[in-house]
Amino acid sequence: MARILGPKCRVCRREAMKLYLRGTRCEMTAKCPIDRGTTFPGQHGQKRQHLTDYGVHMREMQKAKRYYGVSDRQFRRYFRVALGQPGNTGENLLILLERRLDNVIYRAEFAVSRTQARQQVVHGHWRVNGRRVTIPSYGVLSGDVVTPDPREGSQKLVKEALSMPAKEEKPSWLKLAKEPPSIEVIQLPARAEVPIELDEQLIVEFYSR
C-alpha cells in the first residue's frame, strides 16, 4: 500500500476532491479544505496553469491510486488484470479495486478509514469464510462472508467503528449485520456502485499510450 506519511488534507487539495483519507473524520471536521473551497497547496496554488493532456490523464490515475491507497506497482498490476478480463477495462479496474478486503471492511463501516481497515487486516483481526486473512489486497468474491476474529480485541475494534455516526448510503452489493458483526458479499459491485468520481477511461488511455 502507498502510505501517505504527510498531511492527508494536502493530498485532497492537490486532487481538488475529497478522497476520505481520514475516513469518517473527513465528514466531522469543519476544517476540510475542499468544503472551504481552498485552492491547490503551496503559495502559488492560485496561479496554477491549466493541465496538459498528459497531466489530465495522470491526475485521474493519481486520484484512483490515492483513494484506494495502492502503490504504482500495485495499480499497474490491477490494470493488467483488468485488461485481460472481458468487458470495459476501466470499469473492470475500479471493480477490482472495490473488491479489496480493506475497502470492503471500510465500506461496511467496520473501520473508520481504509488505512485503519488495512492495519486491522494485517494484524489478523478479520476472517473470510472462517479463515484468517492478513492480505489487505485480498479480492472478495460473491458469496464470501467476512467476519471479525473472535478475539476480544478484534470485537472491540468493530464496536468502536460502529459507534461512529453512520453514513446515509450502504453498498447494495454487501449484506451487513451488526449482531454478530459480519459482511456478506451478495454480488460483485457494478460501476454505478463505485463512489469515486473520476473518468476511468482516461486511466485506460494513460496506460495505453
User: For residues 113 and 21, is the Cβ–Cβ distance under 8 A?
Assistant: yes
Per-10-residue mean pLDDT, the chain, length 209: 55 58 56 56 57 82 86 93 94 95 92 89 96 96 95 91 75 91 94 87 89
CATH code assigned at 19: 1.10.1050.10
Decide if 137 is inside a domain.
yes
pLDDT at 3: 57
Exposure of 93 in the CB half-sphere (CA atoms within 13 A): 27
CA–CA separation, 70 vs 83, rounded Å? Answer: 18
CATH code assigned at 133: 3.10.290.10
Question: Alpha carbon 68 to chain centroid distance?
Answer: 3
pLDDT at 92: 95
What's the total number of domains in the chain?
2
Q: Which domain holds residue 131?
A: 101-188
Do 32 and 46 fall into the same domain?
Answer: yes
Decide if 43 is inside a domain.
yes
Do 177 and 135 fall into the same domain?
Answer: yes
Could you tell me where the DSSP H helices lie in the chain?
8-15, 25-28, 53-68, 72-83, 89-98, 101-107, 114-122, 152-162, 200-207
Do 38 and 105 fall into the same domain?
Answer: no
CA–CA separation, 139 vs 149, rounded Å? Answer: 18
